[in-house]
Amino acid sequence: MTAAGEIPLFPLQTVLFPGGRLPLRIFEQRYMDMAKACLRDGAPFGVCLIREGGEVGEPALPEDLGCTARIVEWDMPQLGLLQVVARGEQRFRIRRRRLQADGLALAEIQLLPAEADATLDPQADLCARVLHRIVDAAPAGLVESPPHYESGAWVSARLAELLPLSPASKQRLLEMDDARDRIEILRRLISSSGQ
């Protein structure tokens, strides 16, 4: 594991995985300032599922494990509203957290190693086939191109993001260190739902 220093946190009611795309509408001043600084410096921020609290208003208490994100697209359709797409990069664990006067949380983080991957047969594997159907039926840009249907880590992360699972279930899947375990859980879920 590598120490990554201090990054701003964006606690949300969603879970971001490495390689995932996260569209955000930013209007709170603390997050506008954060996004501007991240764009200016090419710096990442941390996305964590909210454990207690809400996305707007008082600072929320985040889960300890999240994913770094970097803004890859942005637009300001009107004054006071910033629309961005962030890309998930690497899982991290919060070591220490502090709040700025404006309520923005900053965290000293420890980057986690990339999870163990598994090679899939895109035509034979149930998870890869289900994800392929979801992506084919969705509007362009749902997942980054090119897709990696042969990668268990990529397929399981995209399914975890896209399937209608509870945020707590998605968080448990993010916390897994081995894609083979995540794929196995998702296979059982898909099989039991009759896909």
**Residue 36: its pLDDT value, please?**
94
- pLDDT for residue 194: 63
Q: How far is the CA of 182 from the CAs of 13, 141, 157, 169, in angstroms?
A: 21, 24, 8, 11
Identical fold between 2-111 and 126-192: no
CATH architecture of structural domain 126-192: Orthogonal Bundle (1.10)
Residue 87: Cβ within 10 Å count: 19
Domain regions of the chain by residue span: 2-111, 126-192
Any idea which architecture 2-111 has in CATH?
Roll (2.30)
- Residues 6+ away with beta carbon under 8 Å from 38: 8, 44, 45, 70, 71
* Residue 190 host element (H or E): helix 179-192
**Residue-level pLDDT at 116:** 87
Mean pLDDT by 10 residues, the chain (195 residues): 75 95 93 95 96 78 96 90 95 95 94 91 91 90 88 96 95 95 94 73
pLDDT value at position 143?
A: 87
pTM for this entry:
0.90
With CA atoms as reference, report the closest residue to 92 among 75, 108, 73.
108
User: What confidence score (pLDDT) does residue 163 get?
Assistant: 94
